[in-house]
Structure 1
Amino acid sequence: MSTASASECAAPLQDNDYRAPLLPVEAAAPVALVTRSASVERASRAAMRPPLCEPPSGSSALPSLIDQVPAIIALRDDPVLRNLLITQCYHDLSVELVSLLGGRNAHWCTFATWASKTAGRFIRNEEVPEMLRWLILSDGGERGSLPPPPRASGVRMRTPGEARRESSPRLSGFDLTTSWWGHGLGLMDLPERILDELSSDIALGNLKVFEELGPLFAQLIELYRDSPEPDAKRFDAVLQGLRQGPSAVGGQGLLRSAVEHYHEARLTDDPDRKAELILLANARVGLHEQIRLQPYIARALNAPIRCVRELFASPERRLPERLLSFVSDKIEKLQAVWRTLATKEMMTMRLSGELLELGSDLPPPPGSPLHCKELASIEERELYELLREYDAHDHSTSGCGAEDWASLRERMSYILELFRSRQSCSRLLDRPFNHAQHAEIAAWRVPLPIHGEL
Structure 2
Amino acid sequence: MIDEALAASDPLLSNFLITRCHHLLSEALRAAIGPETGANFHSWAVWGSRKAGVTIRQEDRDQAARDATFVAGCVGGVVGLIVGGLTGQWTGLSLFVSLLVWITLGALTGGFCGYQLARYTRRAASRRILDGNRLVLDDIGRATACYLQYVRDSEANSDEANFASVLETIDEMSRKSRTENLLGRAFTQYESARVGADLDNRVEATYFGNCLAILHEHIRLQPLISQSLPFLIRKCVTERLMTFSVGEETLSVHEDVPPLDEAIFPPALRELTNPELLEFLTPPDGWDTGRSNLEQTRASDWTVLKERMGYIVNLFRTRQLESDVVAAPYDSQQFASIASGQYPARPW
- TM-score (normalised: structure 1): 0.62
2:67, 2:118 → 1: CA distance? 10
Q: 1:283–1:416: 8 Å Cα contact kept in structure 2?
A: yes
Match of 1:192 in 2: 119
Higher normalized helix content (fraction of residues): 2
- Give the whole-Å Cα distance in 2 for the aligned partners of 1:192 and 1:89: 30
Residue of structure 2 equivalent to 1:387: 281
How many residue pairs get matched?
A: 310
Gaps of 5+ in 1: 1-67, 141-171, 306-334
Aligned to 1:362: 257
Are the equivalent residues in 1 in contact too, given 2:150–2:161 (CA < 8 A)?
Answer: no
Paired residues of 1:247 and 1:288 also in contact (CA < 8 A): no
Matched-pair contact (CA < 8 Å) for 1:86–1:116: yes
Instruction: Provide structure 2 residue ranges, at least 5 long, that are not aligned to the other structure.
Output: 75-103
Check conservation: 1:243, 1:251, Cα contact below 8 A: no
From 8, 14, 29, the equivalent of 1:97 is 29
Structure 1 residue 109 displacement after superposition: 0.7
Which of 51, 54, 58 is matched with 1:118 structurally?
51
Structure-2 residue corresponding to 1:253 = 181
Give the aligned partner of residue 444 of structure 1: 341
Deviation by residue 1:85-112 (Cα, 9 ceiling, x = unmatched): 1111111111121121112411111111
Tell me if the contact between 2:22 and 2:45 (Cα under 8 Å) persists in the aligned partners: yes
Letter of the aligned partner of 1:235 in structure 2?
F
Query: Taking structure 1 as reference, are residues 133 and 287 closer, same or farther at Cα in structure 2, changes over 3 Å only?
Result: closer
**Residue in 2 aligned with 1:213?**
140
Label 1:189 to 1:401 Cα distance change in 2 as closer, same or farther (>3 A).
closer
Indicate conservation of the 8 Å contact 2:139/2:173, yes or no: no
Give the equivalent residue in structure 2 for 1:406: 303
Structure 2 SS opposite 1:242: helix
Q: Does 2:321 correspond to 1:424?
A: yes
Q: Does 1:352 align with 2:284?
A: no
Conservation of the 8 A alpha-carbon contact between 2:266 and 2:321: yes
Residue identity matched to 1:290: H
Matched to 1:202, the amino acid is: I
Question: What do residues 205-246 of structure 1 show as CA deviations (whole Å, max 9, x unaligned)?
Answer: 111111111111122222223432776852222112134597
Verify the 8 A CA contact 1:247 1:291 in the aligned structure 2: no
Whether the 8 Å CA contact 2:222–2:303 is kept in 1: the answer is yes
The answer for the alignment partner of 2:197 in structure 1 is 269
What is the deviation of 1:293?
0.6
Q: What displacement does 1:204 show?
A: 0.8
Which residue of 2 is the match for residue 158 of structure 1? none
Equivalent residue number for residue 90 of structure 2: none
Q: Percent identity?
A: 30
Partner of 1:225: 152
With CA pairs under 8 Å and 6+ residues apart, which has the higher RCO, 1 or 2? 1
Residues in 2 aligned to 1:246 and 1:218: alpha-carbon distance in whole angstroms? 16
* Distance of 1:188 and 1:420 partners within structure 2: 39
Q: 1: distance between equivalents of 2:159 and 2:195?
A: 12
What is the CA–CA distance in structure 2 between the aligned matches of 1:274 and 1:231, rounded to whole Å?
26
Q: Which residue of 1 aligns with 2:97?
A: none
2:167 alignment partner, SS class = helix
Residues 167-211 of structure 1, C-alpha deviations (whole Å, 9 max, x = no match): xxxxx79xx9xxxx9xxx999754432210011111111111111
RMSD (Å), alpha carbons: 2.9
Whichever residue aligns with residue 100 of structure 1, its letter is A
TM-score, length-scaled by structure 2: 0.80
Matched residue type, 2:236: T
Does the Cα contact within 8 Å between 2:143 and 2:170 map onto a contact in 1? no
Change (3 A) 1:382 1:375: same
Structure 1 residues 132, 427: CA separation in 2 closer, same or farther (over 3 Å shift)? closer
Deviation of residue 250 (structure 1)? 2.9
Shift of 1:71: 2.2
Give the whole-Å Cα distance in 2 for the aligned partners of 1:390 and 1:281: 14
Report the Cα distance in structure 2 between the residues aligned to 1:230 and 1:374, rounded to whole angstroms: 33
Offset at 1:355? 0.8
Q: Is the 8 A contact 1:129 1:192 kept in 2?
A: yes
AA aligned to 1:284 is L
